[in-house]
Amino acid sequence: MNYKISHPTKVVECEINLPSSKSISNRLLIIQSLCKENFTIENLSDSDDTKYLQRAFLSQENTIDVEHAGTSFRFLTSYFSIQNGQEFILTGSDRMKERPIKELVSVLQKMGAKIEYLENEGFPPLKIIGTDLEGGKIEIDGDVSSQFITSILLIAPTLENGIELKILGELVSKPYVEMTLKLMKEFGIESDWTNNIITINHQNYIPKNYTVEADWSASSFWFEIASLSKRCNIRLNGLQQNSTQGDKKSIEIFNNLGVDSIFENGKLILTKNQTISPFQTYNLIENPDLYQPLRCTLFSKKIEANFSGIQTLKDKETDRVISLETELNKLNSIKIIDTHKDHRMAMSVAPLCLKFGKLQINDVEVVSKSYPDFWKDLKKSGFIISLLSD
């Protein structure tokens, strides 16, 4: 399905209920399944990633297909490894089969996991036979994926020997690991993170009812819209001011790109300021998901920038750096944007119509992966969206 999208006034005034955090939701679902007593999760994400994870827990089959849900795949790899005596085939979409999983699998195998590659070495699909993992002292590269680390941390308390996890090299997306440990602590799990070693002893998760906060990653597209608008008053609901989500960094980054933000009565309010910084250097090692909305904003404002810390983007739904440049280069000619099966691509390029006029965006359904109501919310804020035939 393809859309034509434009904004006639460039003045954006709206109040938006942001989607709940899929990062928090998916961690909670693993914790809930590992907990010996049930508890209630309120405001659970309705993203595809979370739905596939829920389906996996409810499935009576031994073949689990999570399609394009990378987080779900990684978390389930560790989770299935400790389901003693049970056998699973864990698979996904064609793109999922191109996304590396070897670093996580190798660490789990050293802990005693029974995992085989069914097609290409180092990539999905996997055959997993659950067993009792040893835990103990293990090492993992920090620059591959923080989700690999989170996947192991979540099961660590259930292991007889716990874990002493040594992170090698620079850690990407550190706030997501901090989020994991914070959530685990809220469910009774104590941990120690000294230098590059995380230690978790054998413990039991303690149940408690939990309400999921809104997604700061989703807010980044509204920061982009605010920056590119002529004038704005955007009120975002559901965000926590003291959130552990790393993409809260949007406040700081976009303050230098014309956006003021302030919390009032539980809402984050975005308005315009006159601050536009020239050439910038951005290290996104802790928040690589901000790359696309930030790059689109800078491109629109003709601001040059240097980026570092974005090495993991090549292994996402698409190579986000190369694919985004491909689409940005179209804006001075055909103005037909392909989303490359990437939800963040679709949501990052849509606001560009504020600067480049009417755009065609193809395969718009991809936003369901993290923000199913994105197009509805754009309509609320004055964007004109019309359906085109494929």
Which of the residues are catalytic? 289
CB 380 within 8 Å of CB 350: no
ω before 125 within 30° of 0 (cis)? yes
3-state secondary structure of 372: coil
Residue 186 pairs in a beta bridge with none
DSSP state letter for 381: T
E strands in 61-196:
63-65, 87-91, 114-117, 126-129, 136-141, 163-168, 192-194
How far lies 17's CA from each of 36, 98, 154, 367, in Å? 33, 34, 29, 16
Question: Which position has the token pair 């906060």?
Answer: 213
Element (H, E) at 386: strand 384-388
Other Cβ atoms less than 10 A from the Cβ of 244: the count is 18
